[in-house]
């Protein structure tokens, strides 16, 4: 039998945690033949709730789940971790300025980056879900100088999946008929879901849809503001869909993208497409043997250029702000 893979999940007692842990334990993160050991990290006040979730995980009698440990100390929680899902974050509360938000999250993701640096397994792969995800990932990455920078990623897969869903309805095709969807930039309202490189039956999605007004004034804002629409409808933020996207992200990273397709991941820029080197920005990426690669050489028209630049500028501002705060 295979050695279990150690998966650390932060914010385990939160709503995404509740939607995520059961599916990790049932084989949806790494594959139906890979045993997992869960390491849950919570703040002290939420440890009891995490223990309750662990009781339920026990009660599912998942054959792949080989153990659960719960921590309120990051250094211990990341010890030996092969995969880390950084879900717990400080949410924006009323009256909070962006600087305050970045600072509060720096207080979480800085120490977690250090803990990963100190004790995670050599093959550690990190996915940051907690918002502001790209910049939190940047903070963690900069605090983990001994870990290769490409192991730190942030989640735009939910945006990617939302884009697939919206486009499939509009074009009257299934989501599996759509290839090469891309989310560019920041996981925020400035993100750019790109239909000029997405393909349906070998033609670009923009061409298939043939409706620039819909693309600009319905599709892009619907995808970018979907999180707010979910809160409005559900009275709580996206949780099951966010968890599902986190599973997709790691699963694709580990098991590879299909031939003729790619995915969206926020990864450390190498300067491609004019995105400043070092920023953690969403790109079209292919994955193979547990490594990602930015898809190169796509032609970017003027419309897309403007959208990508706007989102990347926001990321650069966030980076400068956390730099001034001494967080990176």
Is 129 annotated for ligand binding? yes
Is 183 annotated for ligand binding? no
**Measured distance CA(89)–CA(77) in Å, rounded:** 16
**Measured distance CA(271)–CA(212) in Å, rounded:** 29
Cβ at position 273, least distance to ligand NAI in Å: 21
Cβ at position 284, least distance to ligand NAI in Å: 17
249 is an active site residue: no
Is 319 annotated for ligand binding? no
In terms of CB distance, is 64 or 224 closer to ligand NAI? 224
In terms of CB distance, is 130 or 284 closer to ligand NAI? 130
Q: DSSP label at 72?
A: S
- N- to C-terminal Cα separation, the chain: 41
In terms of CB distance, is 88 or 284 closer to ligand NAI? 88
Q: Is 238 helix (H, G, I), strand (E, B) or coil?
A: coil
Is 321 annotated for ligand binding? no
**Measured distance CA(129)–CA(16) in Å, rounded:** 9
Residues that bind ligand NAI (CB under 6 A): 10-11, 13-17, 41-43, 46, 87-89, 91, 108, 129-131, 133, 155, 158, 187, 237-239, 242
In terms of CB distance, is 87 or 200 closer to ligand NAI? 87
22's CB contacts (< 8 A; 6+ apart) are 56, 57, 60, 62
Half-sphere exposure of 121 (CA within 13 A, CB side): 14
In terms of CB distance, is 151 or 209 closer to ligand NAI? 151
Cβ at position 180, least distance to ligand NAI in Å: 20
Cβ at position 231, least distance to ligand NAI in Å: 10
**Measured distance CA(302)–CA(258) in Å, rounded:** 29
Is 15 annotated for ligand binding? yes
**Structure tokens given for 154:** 């942030």
Q: Which residue in the list 28, 160, 187, 197 is annotated as catalytic? A: 187
**Measured distance CA(170)–CA(6) in Å, rounded:** 41
Is 290 annotated for ligand binding? no
CA angle 253, 80, 250 (to 5 degrees): 15
Cβ at position 194, least distance to ligand NAI in Å: 17
State the binding site for substrate: 92, 98, 131, 162
State the binding site for NAD(+): 11-17, 105, 112, 129-131
Active site residues: 187
């Amino acid at each position: 039998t295979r050695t279990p893979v150690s998966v650390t999940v932060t914010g385990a007692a939160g709503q995404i945690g509740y939607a995520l842990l059961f599916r990790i334990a049932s084989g949806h993160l790494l594959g139906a033949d890979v045993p997992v050991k869960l390491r849950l990290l919570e703040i002290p006040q939420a440890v009891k709730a995490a223990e309750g979730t662990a009781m339920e995980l026990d009660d599912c009698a998942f054959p792949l789940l080989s153990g659960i440990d719960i921590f309120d100390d990051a250094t211990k929680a990341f010890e030996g971790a092969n995969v880390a899902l950084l879900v717990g974050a400080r949410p924006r509360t009323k009256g909070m300025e962006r600087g305050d938000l970045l600072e509060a999250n720096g207080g979480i993701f800085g120490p977690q980056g250090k803990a990963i640096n100190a004790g995670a397994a050599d093959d550690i792969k990190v996915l940051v879900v907690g918002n502001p995800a790209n910049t939190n990932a940047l903070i963690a990455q900069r605090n983990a100088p001994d870990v290769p920078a490409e192991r730190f990623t942030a989640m735009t897969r939910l945006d990617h999946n939302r884009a697939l869903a919206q486009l499939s309805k509009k074009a009257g095709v299934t989501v599996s008929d759509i290839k090469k969807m891309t989310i560019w930039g920041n996981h925020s309202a400035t993100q750019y879901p790109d239909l000029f490189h997405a393909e349906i039956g070998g033609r670009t999605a923009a061409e298939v849809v043939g409706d620039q007004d819909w693309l600009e004034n319905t599709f892009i804002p619907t995808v970018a503001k979907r999180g707010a629409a979910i809160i409005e409808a559900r009275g709580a933020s996206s949780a099951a869909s966010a968890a599902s996207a986190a599973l997709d992200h790691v699963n694709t990273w580990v098991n590879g993208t299909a031939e003729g397709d790619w995915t969206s991941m926020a990864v450390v820029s190498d300067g491609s497409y004019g995105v400043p080197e070092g920023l953690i920005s969403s790109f079209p990426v292919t994955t193979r043997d547990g490594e990602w690669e930015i898809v190169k050489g796509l032609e970017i028209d003027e419309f897309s250029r403007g959208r990508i630049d706007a989102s990347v500028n926001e990321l650069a501002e966030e980076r400068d702000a956390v730099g001034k705060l001494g967080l990176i």
